[in-house]
Structure 1
Amino acid sequence: MEYSIHNLIGEVTFGEMQNFSNLTVFPTFYNVDNKVSYLSLNIALDNGYVKIGEVSESGTVNNLYVENLSEHYILLLDGEELIGAKQNRVLNSTILLDKKSKTEIPVSCVESGRWSYQSKHFSSSDRIMSSKSKSRKMQDVNLNFERNEGYLKFQADQRRVWNSVDELLNTRKAFSSSSAMSDAFESSRDKMEDYLKSFKYLENQSGFVIAINNKIIGFEYISDPQIFSIYFKKLLRGYVIDALDNQKKNAAIITTEQARNFIMSVKDAKQFNDKSIGLGNSFRFTGENCIAASLIEKDEVIHYSQLYKDTADIEPEEQYGGQSTIRRRHGDGFSSRD
């Protein structure tokens, strides 16, 4: 295992557990000197430092064009939603944009019913895709790494992403004229805010381990605590949306030991890595029951995300049983489903 990731998972410490309803969060801390400085996508967009648009006037579903106009590195997170242009997308992988750079980035569509310009450029939303959807998408990309799929390495199964969006819209009973993931989140905004106001960012916090129904399903880490504070609620929303539809009573209390064991479980996973889009290297981990991805630049873990596979399909007592996945080929450059 790459030593910087080994150090992270071995030395992370935990804050006091926070809980609301069926969602539990363990704040995490990691004492490390950050050598790489960068901005969040939201801050970069707000300051006009970055422009994101279609690769051409006609566009293509699974790629976008990004120009960093600034002298700052800019971080784009795996699963982060981009809204506007011809249809809403999510990032397929975490990307660190170089200063004054132009980059083509891999994305997945999360709005299958629209293929017309809403705006020339994209803006950033206040959410990351649901943890369940992100887990499925990460499995696709990791499998591409395992199969050494060349330039397709960062592509996901578009049809499976659409199916995940449909599933989310159905479970949230949300109407969407364009089958947009954003409508599922917006339809549940008030309920989600009840959760979000119960969780507080702590000083120097750089991550969290999270459980739904006391089943640990995710670990998120960003190297710069200040940047993590910006992403804190944005990341949480991706878990809260899944918590709304999986409420159970009388579940056992999760301990810090279980949280640590979850993080450490990646040590037994298969590992693959290659040059990332933009700066750094992308490290991928596929275990019997967990899936993970990390971006490393200058020997520093910039972002790390670890999830259980198809989390909603795993009961608490089955957390160490693997889930099979189906990978299907998807087309390129089309705007709606066959």
Structure 2
Amino acid sequence: MSEKFHVGQGSYDGYGVTVFPVWLESQPLEGFCWKSSHIAVGENAEGASVNNLTVTNTGHRPHIFLEGDIFEGGRQNRVLTRSLVLARGEEREVPVACVEEGRWHGTGDHRGGRRRAPMSVRYDMTNTMSRMNVADVQAADAGTHVQSDVWNRIRQHESTRGAVEGHSLTESMDQADRARNMGTRIKPPTVLPGQRGVLIGIGGHIVAAEFFGNSEGLQSRWDGIISAAHYEAMEAPARRTASWKARDFAASLELTPIGEDFPKPEEFRTPVGPLAISSFALGYGLIHAAVFNGAHPLLAEV
């Protein structure tokens, strides 16, 4: 059964990004941990691999890891390619893609879980995996299938934002944050009571959306979502996205089975255009869903 969405008033930052809060009708999930402080992430014990890391739940509750989470450190920074839940104390090898092509040295430990990869990078991964079979998407080496997409998108960003040492996506994002903080901006929006989702408009059009099992989940990734949106907006027109576009986007999502568990990402043809959707759920409800608008100019194929 598809989720039902209620879209609130958008907040415009004056530089092209409009953020719309979203409330879901389904019951929020309880009993899960979203905190990055309760995980350990490192290179594989048997030998470091570009497209794999080992993650451990060091907390007392089942822990949620999300596609698009960036892990910084180790031999190079990586991005997680699919969402998963780890039981208390569980350790697992997970699929990742490199977002720092020019470095292969350093310690074995990573930091992360709060920073989110830009929408364009995540769209490329989601779009490619929607054309793969389920076994390959869920395999430990799934990152190998999307690695070239990620590197190509990073090079595209560098062609307009300037090259950075090691072709590091995180350094490029840090540079953008520093430049933005030197200017005058409206204070970014905060998560509202009961809010479990967000629609992101850039340059006058909805580019992406994310939905969570509860408000704690959204709060845990909020700063990363907003930072990633500002990074994407650097090349976009400084134009507010109209509220009716957000409502139409949400109405189109309700025509899809979002909220159910997708074994792999899927693409849906909707009244607002082609939408690439990943939806991760357990028997008792939605954990996380991400939506990318393939018709948005920022997500055009590299």
TM-score, normalised to structure 2, is 0.86
2:49 is aligned, of 52, 55, 60, to 60
1:29 aligns with 2:23: yes
Q: 5+ residue gaps in structure 1?
A: 45-49, 274-279, 315-322, 327-338
Partner Cα distance (2:129, 2:64) in 1: 19
Query: Greater RCO between the two (CA within 8 Å, min separation 6)?
Result: 2
* Higher mean displacement: 258-267 or 146-155: 146-155
Q: How many residues align?
A: 293
1:263 aligns with 2:250: yes
Partner Cα distance (1:135, 1:196) in 2: 27
Q: Is the 8 A contact 1:54 1:64 kept in 2?
A: yes
Equivalent residue number for residue 12 of structure 1: 5
Once the two structures are TM-superposed, the CA of residue 170 in structure 1 deviates from its matched residue by 2.8
Once the two structures are TM-superposed, the CA of residue 131 in structure 1 deviates from its matched residue by 0.7
1:302 is aligned, of 272, 281, 287, to 287
Change in 2 beyond 3 A, CA 1:245/1:195:
farther
- Partner letter of residue 254 of structure 1? A
RMSD: 2.8
Once the two structures are TM-superposed, the CA of residue 64 in structure 1 deviates from its matched residue by 1.0
Identity %: 19
- Partner letter of residue 291 of structure 1? A
Once the two structures are TM-superposed, the CA of residue 146 in structure 1 deviates from its matched residue by 6.4
1:232-271 paired onto structure 2 within 5 Å: 232-248=222-238, 253-255=241-243, 257-266=244-253
Q: Is the 8 A contact 2:100 2:168 kept in 1?
A: yes
Q: Is the 8 A contact 1:283 1:296 kept in 2?
A: no
Partner Cα distance (2:151, 2:295) in 1: 15
Q: 5+ residue gaps in structure 2?
A: none
- Partner letter of residue 265 of structure 2? R
Equivalent residue number for residue 201 of structure 2: 211
Change in 2 beyond 3 A, CA 1:266/1:34:
closer
Q: Is the 8 A contact 1:196 1:233 kept in 2?
A: no
Partner Cα distance (1:313, 1:186) in 2: 20
1:1-338 paired onto structure 2 within 5 Å: 3=1, 6=2, 8=3, 11-21=4-14, 22-44=16-38, 50-56=39-45, 58-116=47-105, 118-124=106-112, 126-145=114-133, 151=139, 154-155=142-143, 156-176=145-165, 178-193=166-181, 197-248=187-238, 253-255=241-243, 257-266=244-253, 282=263, 284-288=265-269, 289-309=274-294, 311-313=296-298
Q: Is the 8 A contact 2:207 2:292 kept in 1?
A: yes
Change in 2 beyond 3 A, CA 1:196/1:242:
farther
- Partner letter of residue 262 of structure 1? F
Partner Cα distance (1:120, 1:72) in 2: 25
